Homo-oligomer: A and B are copies of this chain.
Amino acid sequence: MINTNPTKGMRDLTPKEVELRNFVKSTIFSVYKKYGFSEIETPSTEDINLLTGGNGGDNEKMLFKILKRGEKLDLQSTTTENELADLGLRYDLTVPLCRFYANNRAKLPSPFKVIQIGSVWRAEKPQKGRFRQFTQCDIDIIGNKKATAEVELILATSAALVEIGFSNFKVRINDRRVLEGLANYAGFEKSTHDKVFIILDKLDKIGIDGVANELKEAGYPEDAITSFISIIEKSTAEKLTIERLTALLPDLDSEVLAGLAFVTETVASQANGKYSIDLDISLVRGMGYYTGQIFEVQAENYNSSIAGGGRYDNLIGKFLKESIPACGFSIGFERVISILEAQNFEVPASGKKIALLYDINIAAFTDLLLKANELRADGNIVSIETKSKNFTKQLDNLVDQGFNFFGVYDESRPFEMKPLSKKA
């Protein structure tokens, strides 16, 4: 007998699961579309050199590589893994977007406001809530160097989350240049900053004392650690304003501060009490390609982030002869789905879902079909089903499948439709 499990770490999605995913996708998509973004698609595979070029951080270690085909594959003389593979499955949508933009720039408007919703693949160790194939849901603005791009991305993403049903979430915002300023001011050597930020990034998990301990264990100067931790603690003591930030880190560039002030004030003016935006100098975001503001959305009552993004002004420049500013925001689609599933979220019904039952020996099958189409023309979902012997059980099963009406078709009687719900 053949093994019928899906690929390790990947999932078969049942109708109920796909229904929720489709609802969330189409909600996000329609909000993004209303904000003037339009969708593109790139292939699932990219050249192996692109995917191992150093822009994907740890994701590059989790690549699904695709074997060369035909004559290109020479098993005799091949000694290394990379000689065997010419393609890989994409691990994110940002690197393919940069390649797409460089390849299609002449056809695209500037600024280019773009949606991508698609699968990405990472050969991670399988664990709860982590899958080797999962959906990403990104918007990006390419070609706008001003912070109006950050504002549009945060407003559109927040609007999408509100439309799905999230409220009271928190948009945390920082700037990579503030992080640099913080590390400099504390006295960490420039060459150690990235490693310091990797430890700071664990703050949500290990707490401020945990961060201090790990920095000590890593052997950084004690006075730098003390100063670093102290500034972070002061910054979180009460709501962080631009004024307080300026007082804490007096060396910060005024343009960086003006950008943060513009984005936080503008977003706050549009939030209508449905969410907040908070300066947070401990926000790191993993990817090395960020160059300016970075942001993350934290859902109420959930510790982990449901969206994240930032400005990456130098990444597209690697593909073109000139530098192109860019900024993006990605909704953690799988996280959103698992939160909704944990809340037993029900996809809003659109119209009736009718089971049209008939006796298997029916003579008037064509009349039954006409009746079904008549009901469909009224906007209903109609599934034709043979009436089974165990009728009560059949009705229960239909409820499980989401049907909320049924009718038994009998050419000798007028058709009657009845609401359907499970016996208590």
Q: Given A11-B43, A109-B401, A266-B365, does the pair A36, B384 have CB atoms closer than 8 Å?
A: yes
Q: Are A85 and B67 in contact (CB under 8 A)?
A: yes
A59 at the interface (CB under 8 A from B): no
Interfacial residues of chain A within 9-33, with CB under 8 A of chain B in the complex: 10-15, 18-19, 21-22, 33
Q: Are A103 and B12 in contact (CB under 8 A)?
A: yes
Contact of A14 among B40, B148, B270 (CB under 8 A): B40
Residues of B contacting A89 in the complex (Cβ-Cβ under 8 angstroms): 44, 66
Q: Are A5 and B370 in contact (CB under 8 A)?
A: no
A204 at the interface (CB under 8 A from B): no
> Which of A12, A121, A133, A148 has the most B CB atoms < 10 Å from its CB?
A12
The chain B residue sitting closest to A152, CB to CB, is: B384
A285 at the interface (CB under 8 A from B): no
CA distance A249 to B79 in the complex (A): 61
Interface size, A (range): 35 or more
CA distance A119 to B121 in the complex (A): 14
Copies of this chain, count: 2
Q: Are B45 and A7 in contact (CB under 8 A)?
A: yes
Q: Are A376 and B38 in contact (CB under 8 A)?
A: no
A123 at the interface (CB under 8 A from B): yes
Contact of A382 among B22, B35, B102, B369 (CB under 8 A): B35
Interfacial residues of chain A within 129-174, with CB under 8 A of chain B in the complex: 133, 146, 148, 151-152, 155
Residues of B contacting A53 in the complex (Cβ-Cβ under 8 angstroms): 2
CA distance A382 to B32 in the complex (A): 10
Contact of A108 among B7, B14, B148 (CB under 8 A): B14
Q: Are A7 and B46 in contact (CB under 8 A)?
A: yes
A191 at the interface (CB under 8 A from B): no
A373 at the interface (CB under 8 A from B): yes
The chain B residue sitting closest to A401, CB to CB, is: B109
A323 at the interface (CB under 8 A from B): no
A381 at the interface (CB under 8 A from B): yes
Q: Are B40 and A12 in contact (CB under 8 A)?
A: yes
A84 at the interface (CB under 8 A from B): yes
CA distance A64 to B85 in the complex (A): 11
A73 at the interface (CB under 8 A from B): yes
Q: Are B107 and A266 in contact (CB under 8 A)?
A: no
Mask, A382-418, CB within 8 Å of B = 1, is 1111100000000001001100000000000000000
| A293 → B minimal CB distance (Å) | 16
| A95 → B minimal CB distance (Å) | 10
CA distance A386 to B38 in the complex (A): 18
Mask, A74-107, CB within 8 Å of B = 1, is 0100111100110101000000000110111001
| A374 → B minimal CB distance (Å) | 12
A261 at the interface (CB under 8 A from B): no
The chain B residue sitting closest to A31, CB to CB, is: B376
CA distance A366 to B1 in the complex (A): 64
A318 at the interface (CB under 8 A from B): yes
Contact of A39 among B11, B22, B87, B386 (CB under 8 A): B22
A41 at the interface (CB under 8 A from B): yes
Residues of B contacting A65 in the complex (Cβ-Cβ under 8 angstroms): 66-67
Residues of B contacting A12 in the complex (Cβ-Cβ under 8 angstroms): 40-43, 100, 103-104
Q: Are A44 and B119 in contact (CB under 8 A)?
A: yes
**13 more CB-based (< 8 A) A-B contacts, given A36-B355, A36-B384, A67-B85:** A1-B321, A2-B49, A2-B99, A3-B50, A7-B45, A18-B39, A19-B39, A34-B376, A44-B119, A64-B66, A67-B67, A109-B397, A269-B369
Give the 4 A-B residue pairs with the shortest CB-CB distance, closest first: A36-B383, A10-B43, A15-B38, A13-B41
> What are 20 A-B residue pairs whose CB atoms fall within 8 Å in the complex?
A1-B319, A2-B99, A2-B318, A4-B102, A4-B319, A7-B45, A7-B47, A10-B43, A12-B43, A12-B100, A19-B38, A34-B380, A35-B382, A36-B385, A44-B121, A65-B66, A67-B67, A67-B81, A75-B79, A270-B369
